[in-house]
Structure 1
Amino acid sequence: MSASGGSGREFTYAEVGASLRAFRDEAPLPSGYRHLRVESELGRGDTVFEVAAAQLFSWDMHRGAGIRIPPGTPLAVPGVEVDLGFGLGPVRASARCRVIEIVDTPDIRGFTYGTLPGHPASGEETFVVERTVDGRVRGTVLAFSRPARWYTKLAGPVGHLLQQQIARRYLAALTA
């Protein structure tokens, strides 16, 4: 895939699609970034799997984690850009991402998005819901990123801890 992903705005990193390849065990996450992998068992059965996948693609997972997503944002499909809003009180930030690729198989559903200019970080995240042979449903967030703005560079390791916390909140939102 090209660095722009088919639209005029370039991704803010070169390794487009690397987190999904790492999820598939096709390649390691790229060096030079902080890596994140958070997994959680979401429950059991077909209904849990279908509901979690629907929440994932409709951005309800993000909303449930406290991330603002504008009303009317299309479902997560390749090329869709999303404006993620977050912050505390009057201190708010916006982060634009573009969906790179989706996974839609009978037992694995999810998508990857990458950062666009202005995002506080540079990198990508893959969000996946899996149904195992024994009926368990697992959620996974796999990411690589590095600070891209002065304030995320200043945050240092605290920024990575916040990313871990948000990833856990994403997965918790899939069980709600």
Structure 2
Amino acid sequence: MAELTVAELTVHELTVHELTMPGAPATATASWADLSYSPVTATSAPNFATALIPGYRLSERRELIGHGSARWEWACREVLSWGIKRRAGFVVQSAAVAAEVRVGDTVCLVLGTAPFRVREFVRVVYLVNEPTRRGFAYGTLLGHPLRGEDCFLVDRMPDGTVWLTVRSFSRPSTPLWMVLTPLLRLAQAIAVRRYFAALSARMS
């Protein structure tokens, strides 16, 4: 993996370190004072699938989800409006969720029902807005069961096929969650399957 660069910045009178991957998307400009992990934007690395991030478990899955302009436009819209999360069973809570994902948006993703409800606090760290690729990534905040980053990318290929890529790197955030690692990994696997099922399903 490429060597990290470190820049120092001040947020709310607190000096923090902002760790980024060289060549990270230019839109990765959010306040990262509360992010619980590093390196921020690592999911944007071209060689992510073969990268090494000490202490973290990496995952990348890419699948065909359809064909044609309609599927491309619909999939992009679902990803960039949190629809991919809602269709996977999450409730997206925020004081002000915009119609489209923005860098710096902070949300709480809620999964399950009481008493088995899990809240995941995350912040959008970068967007991808290219002619044939769109998507975004969010990073975990303090209070999330995991530390790490998730990325969702929709690609349109020259032959008209549309593909979804889901990337993540993570580790349990506390000793308690570490004990529950098998359950966390199972929940992650189920969520990823739901993402692909949601975006390959009938458009609505």
Q: Same fold (TM over 0.5)?
A: yes
Q: Matched residues in 1 for 2:33 and 2:110: separation?
A: 19
- Share of identical aligned residues, percent? 35
Bigger Rg, which one: 2
> Given the alignment, which residue of 17, 21, 27 partners 2:41?
17
Structure 2 unmatched ranges of 5 or more: 1-6, 8-17, 20-28
Letter of the structure 2 residue corresponding to residue 66 of structure 1: G
Q: Matched residues in 2 for 1:131 and 1:155: separation?
A: 38
Q: How far 1:97 moved relative to its partner?
A: 0.7
> Given the alignment, which residue of 79, 104, 109 partners 2:104?
79
Q: Does 1:173 align with 2:195?
A: no
Q: Does 1:153 align with 2:178?
A: yes
Q: How far 1:151 moved relative to its partner?
A: 4.2
The residue number in structure 1 matching 2:134 is: 109
Letter of the structure 2 residue corresponding to residue 91 of structure 1: F
The alignment's TM-score, normalised by the length of structure 2, stands at: 0.77
Pairwise CA RMSD: 2.1
Per-residue CA distance 1:101-125 (angstroms, 9 max, x = gap): 1111111000011000101100001
The residue number in structure 2 matching 1:119 is: 144
Letter of the structure 2 residue corresponding to residue 167 of structure 1: V
The alignment's TM-score, normalised by the length of structure 1, stands at: 0.89
Q: How far 1:29 moved relative to its partner?
A: 4.5
Q: How far 1:40 moved relative to its partner?
A: 1.9
Contact 2:30 2:103 in 1 (8 A): no
Per-residue CA distance 1:16-57 (angstroms, 9 max, x = gap): 000111xx2378251211111122211001110110000001
- Number of residue equivalences: 174
**Counterpart secondary structure, 2:35:** coil
Q: How far 1:175 moved relative to its partner?
A: 2.5
The residue number in structure 1 matching 2:67 is: 44
Q: Does 1:57 align with 2:84?
A: no
The residue number in structure 2 matching 1:130 is: 155
Contact 1:40 1:140 in 2 (8 A): yes
Structure 1 unmatched ranges of 5 or more: none
